[in-house]
A and B are shown apart, each in its own frame.
Chain A
């Protein structure tokens, strides 16, 4: 079980794509910083990600003027929840 953090925009960088390539069921992905531009990216719509929990940091979405994606697929979180996720997942990879 791995927690993946992505801080780069998928429109500009391969980080999200690489992350998805090596994810497995039960993993979680946290989008933060420019990574939150990925909330509407098609790569996150894949059925392959069904068993992967998706999160985006609220402060980063708000700062960038991005609307709440209002999808059950992505949970919008605070830094406190981000820390709690790190506790839940035994290993973390930053992309």
Chain B
């Protein structure tokens, strides 16, 4: 089956991100296809490359990054939610004349249409809420 995952919670402020990661691993173990992980609302905070959690604690950003690279799964961040929350990639940071950027290319900035598309193209769209 084709799965997509939607994440609506930020790292650490809810368990949404952690659960979604565990679920994503299980989807691939089950030999299914994972079309996309779509981060919306506070979920966009998961793209924050500046996270510095304590050494002995879960590094959610790094885990998503490793997951995406290892399995070639697209991590999509909704641009509207992202801009609102200061999650900017290099292009957006330049466009809005901000000194720094937070999103790296491991996360793709795209429109909300990608969430709807995930619902249309997948057999199952599973949401992890805050």
Binding site for B on A (CB under 8 A): 5, 7, 32-34, 59, 78-80, 82-84, 86-87, 92, 94
List, in ascending order, chain A residues with CB within 8 A of B22's CB. 59, 79
Binding-face segment, B23-31, B44-52, B66-74, B92-100: B23-31
Taking the nearest CB of chain B, how far is it from the CB of A37, in angstroms?
Answer: 13
Q: How far is the CB of B21 from chain A (nearest CB, A)?
A: 10
Please indicate the chain B residues that have their CB under 8 angstroms from the CB of A92 in the complex.
124-127
The reply to whether A94 and B124 form a contact with Cβ atoms under 8 Å apart is no
Name the 7 nearest CB pairs between A and B, nearest first.
A79-B26, A33-B15, A94-B127, A83-B26, A83-B30, A79-B22, A80-B26
- Which B residues lie within 8 Å of A5 (CB)? 126
Residue in A59, A78, A80, A86 whose beta carbon sits within 8 Å of that of B124 in the complex: A86
Interface residues on chain B, number (Cβ under 8 Å): 20
Asked if B38 is at the interface (CB within 8 A of a chain A CB), the reply is no
Q: Which residue of A lies closest to B30 (CB)?
A: A83
In the complex, which residues 18-60 of chain B have their Cβ closer than 8 Å to any Cβ of chain A?
Answer: 19, 22-23, 25-27, 29-30, 32
Compute how far the CA of A34 lies from the CA of B3 in the bound complex, rounded to whole angstroms: 24
Residues of A within 8 A of B25 (CB): 79
* Chain B residues, Cβ within 8 Å of A59: 22
Complex: how many Å from CA A36 to CA B14?
15
A57 CB → nearest B CB, Å: 8
Q: B61 at the A/B interface (Cβ < 8 Å)? A: no
B116 touches A (CB below 8 Å) = no
Q: How far is the CB of A2 from chain B (nearest CB, A)?
A: 12
B101 contacts the other chain (Cβ, under 8 Å)?
no
Which one of A7, A84, A86, A87 has the highest number of Cβ atoms from chain B below 10 Å of its Cβ? A86
Q: Assess whether A82 is in contact with B15, with CB atoms less than 8 Å apart.
A: no
